[in-house]
Amino acid sequence: MISIDTSTAPAAVLSPELADTDFIKEMNRQARALDSYGTYDGWPVERVLAPYVVTKEQRRQIPVIGDPDDVLISRVKAFHNAIAALIEKECGLMAVPVINLTHEGFGRALITVGKLVVLDRTLRDVHRFGFETFSKMKDEADKHLSVALEIIGKYPEVAGL
Amino acid sequence: MISIDTSTAPAAVLSPELADTDFIKEMNRQARALDSYGTYDGWPVERVLAPYVVTKEQRRQIPVIGDPDDVLISRVKAFHNAIAALIEKECGLMAVPVINLTHEGFGRALITVGKLVVLDRTLRDVHRFGFETFSKMKDEADKHLSVALEIIGKYPEVAGL
Whole-angstrom Cα distance, residue A120 to residue A48? Answer: 26
CB A107 within 8 A of CB A78: no
Neighbours of A88 (CB within 10 A): 15
Listed in sequence order, the residues at least 6 apart from A6 whose beta carbon sits closer than 8 Å to its beta carbon are none
Listed in sequence order, the residues at least 6 apart from B135 whose beta carbon sits closer than 8 Å to its beta carbon are B15, B18
The residue-averaged pLDDT of B87-107 equals 90
Total residue length of chain B: 161
Number of A/B CB contacts below 8 angstroms equals 43
DSSP annotation of B35 reads -
CB A31 within 8 A of CB A49: yes
Using pLDDT thresholds of 50, 70 and 90, give the confidence band for residue B13. confident
The residue-averaged pLDDT of A17-44 equals 92
Whole-angstrom Cα distance, residue A147 to residue B30? Answer: 34
Give A33's Cβ-side CA count (13 Å radius): 13
Answer yes or no: is pLDDT of A140 > 90: yes
Residue of B nearest to A118 (CA): B115
CB B19 within 8 A of CB B27: no
Choose the closest CB to A98 out of B110, B114, B118: B110
B23–chain A nearest CA distance, Å: 25
Instruction: Mark which residues 12-71 of B lie under 8 Å from A by CB.
Output: none
Choose the closest CB to A100 out of B100, B151, B157: B100
B132–chain A nearest CA distance, Å: 29
Residue of B nearest to A154 (CA): B158
| Residues of chain A found within 8 Å of residue B98, distances taken between Cβ atoms | 98, 100, 108, 110
Contact at CB, B115 and A117, closer than 8 angstroms: yes
Long-range contacts of B107-112 (CB under 8 A, 24+ apart): B108/A98, B109/B76, B109/B80, B110/A98, B110/A110, B110/A112, B111/B80, B111/B83, B111/B84, B111/B87, B111/B148, B112/A110, B112/A117, B112/A120
Choose the closest CB to A115 out of B98, B100, B116: B116
SS3 state of residue A56: helix
pLDDT at residue B20, rounded to an integer: 93
SS3 state of residue A105: coil
Answer yes or no: is pLDDT of B117 > 70: yes
CB A20 within 8 A of CB A43: no
Calculate the alpha carbon distances from A135 to A15, A18, A33, A115, B122 in Å: 9, 7, 22, 32, 36
Of B84, B64, B101, B60, which Cα lies nearest the Cα of B144?
Answer: B84
A47-95: pLDDT as tens digits? 999 999 998 888 888 888 888 888 888 999 999 999 999 999 999 999 9
Whole-angstrom Cα distance, residue B64 to residue B97? Answer: 25
| Neighbouring-strand partners of residue B121 | B109
Q: Is some CB atom of chain B closer than 8 A to the CB atom of A101?
A: no
**C-alpha dihedral (B13, B14, B15, B17), degrees to nearest 10:** 160
3-state SS of chain B: helix, strand, coil percent to 5? 50, 15, 35
Q: Between helices A70-91 and A22-33, what is the axis angle to 10°?
A: 130
Considering the entire predicted model, what is its pTM? 0.85
Contact at CB, B112 and A117, closer than 8 angstroms: yes
pLDDT at residue A122, rounded to an integer: 92
A7/B154: higher pLDDT: B154
| Residues of chain B found within 8 Å of residue A111, distances taken between Cβ atoms | none
ipTM: 0.81
Residue of A nearest to B107 (CA): A98
SS3 state of residue B9: coil
pLDDT at residue A66, rounded to an integer: 80
Of B112, B108, B85, which Cα lies nearest the Cα of B23?
Answer: B85
A116–chain B nearest CA distance, Å: 5
Using pLDDT thresholds of 50, 70 and 90, give the confidence band for residue B8. low
